[in-house]
Amino acid sequence: MRVSETGEARVRGYLFVLGRSLRTFLQPAEARDALREVESHIRERLEQVESSDERVGVEQVLAELGTPLKVARAYSTEMTLDEALTTGRFVPVLRAVWHLATTSVFGFLWALFVFVGWVFGLAVMSLAPVKVVFPNNVGIFYQQGQIQSMGANFGHPPGTEVYVFGYWIVPVALALGLGILVLTHRASRRVLGWIRSRRPPARVRLKVEVSGR
């Protein structure tokens, strides 16, 4: 189907909104690449459409792709997950977890779990330097024969009995805290991989929708 200036204006308007949406989620270079890819799909589909009504044909193609915001979210989710799973680094994984937390209820709950795991791991590791600097403030704190708290405590009331750990707690705290962080990170990657496997790739989905209609 040949597209007139009116149809081109509608396509350019869609691409303009899509470009702005993509830049909300992606880096400028990534947004430009995604925009060019979507535009090529639109052009290919318009060439295949056989319709006597140009407006209906153009709207059909754009409706097949979905709203610009939906397409932008699909691309951003795919690229964020791919970066996290490919590199495995802390920052990309953190970015992917945060992205999921802002786009789904499950993602928010998982991000909360990951946040607790990271905070707990760092808290355990922090016992090591605290033990070195304040050796009498790290241990098990008793009051009237009952355990009141464990770890580091700087405000226990008078009469509190303290079982002070030896300095062996330093390597134990470092190893245990690091282990918690590593396990949390690996669990995050597994969950991200599971989510990624359940999502058809945005690029493939667009190609299927464009060529399969």
Give the tens place of pLDDT for each residue, 31-50. Answer: 888 898 888 888 888 888 87
C-beta separation of 4 from 54 below 8 A: yes
Q: How many domains does the chain have?
A: 1
184 within some domain: yes
Q: Specify the pTM.
A: 0.67
Does the pLDDT value for residue 169 go beyond 50? yes
Q: How far is CA 12 from the centre of its chain?
A: 31
202 pLDDT band, cuts 50/70/90, is low
Cβ neighbour number for residue 37 with a 10 Å cutoff: 15
Range of the domain at 135: 89-200
Q: What is the mean predicted confidence (pLDDT) over 1-17? A: 86
185 within some domain: yes
C-beta separation of 152 from 124 below 8 A: no
135 within some domain: yes
Let me know if 18 is exposed, middle or buried by CB neighbors in 10 A (0-12, 13-18, 19+): buried
201 pLDDT band, cuts 50/70/90, is low
Q: What is the mean predicted confidence (pLDDT) over 3-24? A: 88
166 within some domain: yes
Q: Which residues are bridge partners to 16 per DSSP?
A: none
Least confident of 9-13, 79-83, 106-110: 79-83
111 within some domain: yes
Return the SS3 of 196: helix
Least confident of 8-22, 64-78, 103-117: 64-78
Angstrom distance (rounded) from CA 105 to CA 195: 13
Type of residue numbered 78: E
Q: Which tokens in the block code for residue 96?
A: 């992917």
- Residues 6+ away with beta carbon under 8 Å from 200: none
The count of residues in the chain is 213
Residue-averaged pLDDT of the chain: 84
Nearest CA among 84, 176, 81, 66 for reference residue 121: 176
Q: What is the pLDDT of residue 48?
A: 84
Does the pLDDT value for residue 188 go beyond 90? yes
70 within some domain: no
Does the pLDDT value for residue 212 go beyond 60? no
34 within some domain: no
Does the pLDDT value for residue 209 go beyond 50? no
206 pLDDT band, cuts 50/70/90, is low
Q: What is the mean predicted confidence (pLDDT) over 77-82? A: 84
207 within some domain: no
